Amino acid sequence: MRLLVTGAGGMLGRAVVQSAAREGHEILAVARAHLDITDREAVMRRICAEEPTAVINCAAYTDVDGAESDRDTALAVNAAGAGNVAAAAGVAGASIVHVSTDYVFDGSKDGPWIESDPTGPLGAYGESKLAGELAVADANPNHAIVRTAWLFGAGAKNFVDTMLKLGDQREEVSVVTDQIGCPTWTRHLAGALVTLAGHPQDTGIHHIAGAGSCSWHELAREVFAQAGIGCRVLETTSDAFPRPARRPANSVLASERPDPLVLAPWQAGVAEYVATRVSA
């Protein structure tokens, strides 16, 4: 498969490139510095010239709090930019795998969110990602939209790395118990995205995240346990950490698809990732 990856310099994009390389695919890694996905003409020229079999769009504006005061940029990248990539892939005869988020939901459901559940973003970031889903679906019929959650991995700031750093510096940390989700290691997700790119018939929305669920508090405790760090994890709530953007209380994802791609349990992702960080 000739696979083009946008956002290849980011945390998830790097993992996708590495996963595709391990599987022997021909990789066209396109980082933000080399392609502005908000430039529709440039995107069309580049993707059509490369003639990929499939495109995985990992390019995104991911600053959840920043999006509240920079809505236009978030929409330009996550909505219009995503549509540009999908449209160019379509003209090039390629399918598109687009990465979205649990933040398209409002977090109010009592139970896991499935693909057909009604969306209702709480903030600008979620709104921009939902608009991107619609733009991708409208621009290219051969699309797979992957909603995922609570990503961690090498190459960018993430919760697991933050906990490892704080655990080395402090005797205790306070972490919220009133937000739950599915921690997802980028390496696990990347493999699923590459698999999906090889199955262009599997169109539509997919929920793919680390199996199981936990709170941020439980995730912090697991990180310290895997790293052998004795830092205590105290319970607190979101009210103690006011932020510009509201977070969904329930970000747990599940799939209603008849044959979903299922990732390893989130604890396995944490264990494997922490092992790479501790030994580094």
What pLDDT digit, counting tens, does each position of 141-160 carry? 999 999 999 999 998 899 99
Q: Is residue 216 a part of any domain in this protein?
A: no
User: Over pLDDT 70: what percentage of the chain?
Assistant: 99
What pTM does this model have?
0.96
What CATH number does residue 28 fall under?
3.40.50.720
CA–CA distance, 94 with 91 (Å, rounded to integer): 7
For residue 277, name the pLDDT band (cuts at 50, 70, 90).
confident
Which one has a higher pLDDT value, 197 or 278? 197
CA–CA distance, 50 with 34 (Å, rounded to integer): 14
Q: How many CA atoms lie within 13 A of 236 on its CB side?
A: 14
pLDDT at residue 278 above 90? no
Q: Is residue 240 a part of any domain in this protein?
A: no
Residue 189 belongs to domain spanning:
2-150+184-210+253-260
Q: Taking all residues of the chain, what is their mean pLDDT, rounded to a whole number?
A: 97
Mean of the pLDDT values across residues 52-57? 98
Q: Is residue 228 a part of any domain in this protein?
A: no
User: Cβ distance 136 to 143 under 8 Å?
Assistant: yes
What is the structure's pLDDT at 280? 57
CA–CA distance, 223 with 215 (Å, rounded to integer): 12
What is the structure's pLDDT at 101? 98
Number of domains in the chain: 1
For residue 279, name the pLDDT band (cuts at 50, 70, 90).
low
CA–CA distance, 231 with 83 (Å, rounded to integer): 45
Q: Is residue 160 a part of any domain in this protein?
A: no
CA–CA distance, 182 with 266 (Å, rounded to integer): 7
Cβ-in-10-Å burial (0-12, 13-18, 19+) of 279 comes to exposed
Q: Is residue 267 a part of any domain in this protein?
A: no
Bridge partners of 111, per DSSP, are none
pLDDT digits (tens, 9 = 90+) for 215-265: 999 999 999 999 999 999 999 999 998 999 999 999 999 999 999 999 999
Q: Is residue 116 a part of any domain in this protein?
A: yes
Q: Is residue 172 a part of any domain in this protein?
A: no
Catalytic site residue 125? yes
Length of the chain, please? 280
Q: Is residue 142 a part of any domain in this protein?
A: yes
CA–CA distance, 239 with 248 (Å, rounded to integer): 13
What is the structure's pLDDT at 241? 87
pLDDT digits (tens, 9 = 90+) for 102-150: 999 999 999 999 999 999 999 999 999 999 999 999 999 999 999 999 9
